[in-house]
Amino acid sequence: MSLAGFEVEVEQVGQQGLETEEMTLNMGPQHPSTHGVLRFVVKADGEVMRQAIPDVGYLHRSIEKIAEKVGWHGFMPYTDRVDYVAAMFCNQGWGMVSERLGDIAVPKRGEYCRVIAAELNRIASHLLSVGTMVLDIGAITPFFHAFREREKINDLIEQLCGARLTYNYMRIGGVAWDLPPDFIEKVTAFLDRFEPMLAEYHDLISVNKLYVERCAGVAVISPEEAVNYNLVGPNLRASGVRYDVRRDEPYSVYPELEFDVPVGAAEHGVLGDSYARYAIRIREMKESARILRQCFRQMPDGPVITKVPRKFKPPAGDAYIRVESARGDMGWYAVSDGTEYPYRCKVRTGSFAAMAIIDKVSQGLMLADLVTVIASLDIVAPEVDR
Amino acid sequence: MQAFLDQLIADGYFAGVPPQLVYAIAIVAAAAVVIFGFVLNVAGVTTFIERRVWARIQSRIGPNRVGPQGILQWLADGIKLLMKEELVPAAADATLFKLAPYVVVMGFVAAFVAMPFSSVLIAADLNLGILYITAVTSLVVVGILMAGWASNNKWSLIGGIRSAAQIVSYEIPAALSIFTIVLITGTLSMQSIIKAQGWAPWDWFLFYSPFTFVSFWILFTALLAEGNRTPFDLPEAESELVAGFVTEYSGARYLFFFLVEWGNLYVISAILVTLFLGGWQVPHVTDNPVLLNLLQFVTFFVKSYFGVILMMWIRATLPRIRVDQLMSTCWKYLVPMAFVNFVGTAVWVAIWPNGNRPVWIAMTVLGFALLFYFFYRVEFHRRRSGAELLFSPFS
């Protein structure tokens, strides 16, 4: 039996004359909790899954091909759509790879503006990730509380660059606009209100026995597996591997900033389970708040953008840079042939690798756990398919 | 009521109509009044109240447009659902598919026959009242299984099977907890159970002994599971199964399932209030029977509604548990606890047939102390978080 290109065998497991079959379920592209347009073909024996085969491509928009048509400058708004939940990092990635090819230096204040925007976006992205994870597990309230905070961040970023989701804030050579007049005070006021909220989330979710029972020990990924399957970001760190691009291959002004890299510690459950991946995101939000406060103290004055010619023609060659996005190490690769249009652009995202490991970890889990696994790996469909 | 009808027949109102037919029509008319005048409206208003309660918990407003403060929202939802196209999937078992909502509604509405609203407002004071209610509310399992199977949808099937397993399993601790009360009163009749209690908290069965106190919470949990409410709402887990066993339903059929879910909240609460919280008992403040019965009705309704709001609160707060955890909770924890309660209550009743007054009153004091401590902690957390009590969307 062929199902969309997969060969699905119907297994007859005979026990004492009783013939049973595995059930093939389709967790289709339209589903309330697959975080976008993802499809899984699930082979289940009752409630226990034997395999969950991912089927990607429902959100493919040929973004990388479009880069070859719109040019270096024109591609910046398209990068927002590569991962619209954490768009600042995509902007930063494209900016950095173009600057590497064209050998352009971004002024210091521009770098600080980039980091501020990126860390604000990291908090917003983690809030969405945590909120939807608890929503999928069944608690409907923390989702609204997380989005209440996210709304405030959206309002702040709207003052910064005019948009709430697809920012197009950064340019090749720096950022488009400097911080607005009261921005620092407003963000500081927000952070003063936000950090106690994390304590509230802790009381409501993190120590809630039902939540812990649902997440602890589910889909344990060992450090070796995580490295072999190419996991990055919070997924990798939750398994115990201490790797963060901001620390290990620093870029922008991160060398001047002081922050910790949270690594999984088995508070409830096992190292590398879904609970660890959730807990890491909560701690990363705290660290982002810390980074933001330091940036406000340390920002120098000056221009925010280096003038780059309108017809930007970087010399022929290629460059690969990494950015620590909310979902982990996002790699941007661009090949230039000396014209104002890139010859090739490629994005490597963390969610794509996470899709691959779902098949491996979902064997033997229950149907309800599949949702937990997808949510804990923080998979967003636009990143998977581009 | 039979005497009243006989009087009317004797006066010649129903000339030429056999008395049995008159009785039958009167019964159907009374049932229609109860169902359409009370049950459906309560279920509908409960949906609206649930949305407003959730919204306040979730730091938002909730429906407030349709009618003053949004109070007609449920009517708008009902009318909308009635006007929708009723799809029957082509490969679905049409007969079972169409029959399932009616079975479920039957199981739900039949419970109101034995519901004691006041000392006279009870449709039928059956001498096996509580057993009847337990039996009849189990009919929804049949309807849910029918819905899950007939939809020809694997996700609906999974939802239906989960629900059947859940409801059937949780009948055991529920029945055992109910029978602790039956042990104390020696009767299954709802009115007799209420009359064995008093209006004051120190006369409620909730505080009768430590065993009944624990029984109350076991019954509460088991009835939550019976009603498919979070944390036991796996059969209709929105984030996993789209809508579980009702995925393929639309229009009026969906409205039936919808109403049963919310109406069941009231039935669950009413059972708890009858058995443990003194039912409709009020102090004898007036000799006027109409006023007294009205007071009793209001008391019963208000007490039940506290239970309903508590269940809405729980649904807004807790995540849902997985089906294997649900089963192990029932069989490994609730059933043994319920058995211990049962045996303990039997021993208690054997030693003190009329109840142990000092312990009863001590439990009451303890219960209220717990309540006050709970609200103290709520206030503590509210003050610590600096939450806004009055939320303005324009700030």
Share of chain B above pLDDT 70, in %: 93
Q: Which of A322-326, B24-28, B215-219 has the lowest mean pLDDT?
A: B24-28
Distance from CA of B321 to the nearest CA of A (A): 6
Q: Shortest CA distance to A245 belongs to which of A175, A327, A174? A: A327
pLDDT for the residue B265: 87
Q: In chain A, which residues have their Cβ closer than 8 Å to the Cβ of B154?
A: 23, 25
* Segment 151-170 of chain B within 8 Å of chain A by CB: 154-155, 158, 162
Q: State whether B318 and A138 contact (CB < 8 Å).
A: yes
Tally A–B CB contacts below 8 A: 83
Evaluate whether B197 touches B360 at the Cβ level (below 8 Å).
no
pLDDT for the residue B148: 86
Q: Shortest CA distance to B141 belongs to which of B179, B98, B92, B108? A: B108
* Segment 54-73 of chain B within 8 Å of chain A by CB: 54, 57-60
- Residue located via tokens 């009793």: B296
- What's the pLDDT band for B307 if we cut at 50, 70, 90? very high
> How many of the other CB atoms lie within 10 Å of CB of B200?
11
Q: Provide the residue count of chain B.
A: 395
Q: State whether A23 and B321 contact (CB < 8 Å).
A: no
Q: State whether B319 and A369 contact (CB < 8 Å).
A: no
Evaluate whether A16 touches A63 at the Cβ level (below 8 Å).
no
Q: State whether B234 and A140 contact (CB < 8 Å).
A: no
Closest-CA residue of chain B to A200: B385
How far apart, in whole angstroms, are the C-alpha atoms of residue A54 and residue A27? Answer: 9
Q: In chain B, which residues have their Cβ closer than 8 Å to the Cβ of A214?
A: 319, 321-322, 325
What pTM value is reported for the model?
A: 0.88
Q: State whether B58 and A140 contact (CB < 8 Å).
A: yes
Q: Which residues pair with A12 in a beta bridge?
A: A21
Evaluate whether A145 touches B58 at the Cβ level (below 8 Å).
yes
List the CATH code of the domain at A63-385.
1.10.645.10
How far, in Å, are A38, B292, B297 from residue B282 at the CA level?
58, 8, 10
Q: At what angle do helices B19-34 and B2-10 cross, to 10 degrees?
A: 130
* Segment 178-207 of chain B within 8 Å of chain A by CB: none
Q: State whether A140 and B54 contact (CB < 8 Å).
A: yes
Q: State whether A197 and B385 contact (CB < 8 Å).
A: yes
Taking residues B162-174, report their average pLDDT: 90
| Nearest-by-Cβ selection for B231 from A23, A138, A141 | A138
| Nearest-by-Cβ selection for B319 from A23, A138, A196 | A138
How far apart, in whole angstroms, are the C-alpha atoms of residue A281 and residue A277? Answer: 7
- pLDDT tens-digit series, residues B327-364: 999 999 999 999 999 999 999 999 988 878 888 889 89
Query: What's the DSSP call for residue B206?
Result: G
Q: State whether B322 and A135 contact (CB < 8 Å).
A: no
Statement: residue B390 has pLDDT above 60 = no
How far apart, in whole angstroms, are the C-alpha atoms of residue A66 and residue A82? Answer: 12
Instruction: Share the mean pLDDT of chain B.
Output: 85
Residue A65 sits at the vertex; the CA angle it makes with A62 and A67, to the nearest 5 degrees, is 115
- pLDDT tens-digit series, residues A215-225: 888 888 989 99
Helix, strand or coil, per DSSP, at residue A328: strand
CATH 1.10.645.10 placement within chain A = 63-385
